Amino acid sequence: MNMKYKVTKVKPQGYCGGVLKAIQMAKECRKLHPNESITILGNLVHNNYVKEALTLYDLKTVEDPSKTRWELLDLVESGIVIFTAHGVNQSVKEKAIKKGLTIVDASCPFVLQTQKFVEQKLNAGYYVFYIGKKGHPEAEAIYSENDRVFLIEKIEDIPKNLKGNIFVTNQTTMSVIEIKDLFAKIKEIYPDASIYDEICNATRVRQEAILALKDQNVDTLIVVGDPSSNNTKKLCAMGVSAAIKNVYRIEDLQQLKPEMFQNARHIAITSGASTPTYLMEQVYEYLIHYPCPKEKIDLHKILDEKRQA
């Protein structure tokens, strides 16, 4: 065992409640409808391993990053359609019903809550400033619906000289740091704007746990997560904000290279809210047993040993 460096697992990390619920709903749907065609509209959660695991349940995913959910729906002919944890807008639901599809909605309750606030404010005549990421399905469900909604990715996107009430909210997986700056800038331009910070608790506590590493002499942070996962990207950004010298995002153990950690003194490891725990555990076990060959990391054995301990 190599004891040159210390390895700390950051807590909390891994699946959030919304991701767990979506995966359980999809599996349950197959159990209840063993012979139906079931299609997931976009990636159920942002992780390729999860997507592949779902094919074992004969759950098909239609995904094309250049297409909106509304456009993707053209690829679903019949049967059951599952809406992902990121939510969809009303026009997608209506289109699915018109096509005669049965809907299973796995949207996270926190995403639905933000959608509800936006709808209430639009009905009350407000303009909505939505801080989010263009093309992300959660943001798309809100900004593509109404021309009184403005997507804000950076300060330059804040509209000037609007007259009327303004409601400001955000995608649930944004950075707790970036959003403060954007809220402050909006308040400077529109002092009467109502602000609802909708970063979900799972995102917030995972990001704060990384920021707290600042005082723990961590020199290397490894974030296990999918390149398409916004919350994973933001965990990396928190590592940079916590002044950690080396920050790496890897999808799995295969992407971990010795040059990333060989000279480290203190490594922290975490994973995105849609990353299966076993992917993070494999990386952790490899780090503490390095330089054993990667093939020796037998996850099932590791988990069995832990259960018996």
Binding site for ligand SF4 (CB under 6 A): 16-19, 85, 108, 110-111, 172-173, 200, 202-203, 231, 273
Query: Whole-number minimum distance, CB 81 to ligand SF4, in Å?
Result: 19
Is the CB of 111 or the CB of 186 nearer to ligand SF4? 111
Which residues are within 8 A (CB) of 92 and not within 5 positions of it... i.e. 6 or more apart?
41, 69, 70, 73, 83, 141
Closest separation in Å from C-beta 114 to ligand SF4: 8
| Residue partners of 237: CB distance under 8 A and separation at least 6 | 175, 177, 178
Q: How far is the CB of 11 from ligand SF4 (least distance, A)?
A: 16
- Residue 24: CB minimum distance to ligand SF4, A: 13
Give the separation between CA 148 and CA 93, rounded to whole angstroms: 21
Q: Which one of the listed residues 28, 63, 77, 138 is annotated catalytic?
A: 138
Distances (CA, A) of 116 to 111, 130, 224: 9, 13, 32
Q: End-to-end alpha-carbon separation of the chain, Å?
A: 19
Q: What is the spatial distance between Cα 44 and Cα 61, in angstroms, rounded to a whole number? A: 8
- Which one, 218 or 272, has the nearer CB to ligand SF4? 272
Nearest to 86 by CA among 105, 115, 103, 108: 108
138 is catalytic: yes
Q: Which is nearer to ligand SF4, 223 or 273 (CB)?
A: 273
Number of residue whose CB is nearest ligand SF4: 18
Q: CB-wise, 110 or 284, nearer to ligand SF4?
A: 110
Please give the Cα distance from 190 to 33 (Å, whole number): 51
245 Cβ neighbours under 8 A, 6+ residues apart: 219, 220
Residue closer to ligand SF4, measured from CB, 110 or 290:
110
- Residue 192 Cβ vs ligand SF4, minimum distance, rounded to whole Å: 28
Distance CA 127, CA 51 (A): 37
Which residues are marked as active site?
A: 138
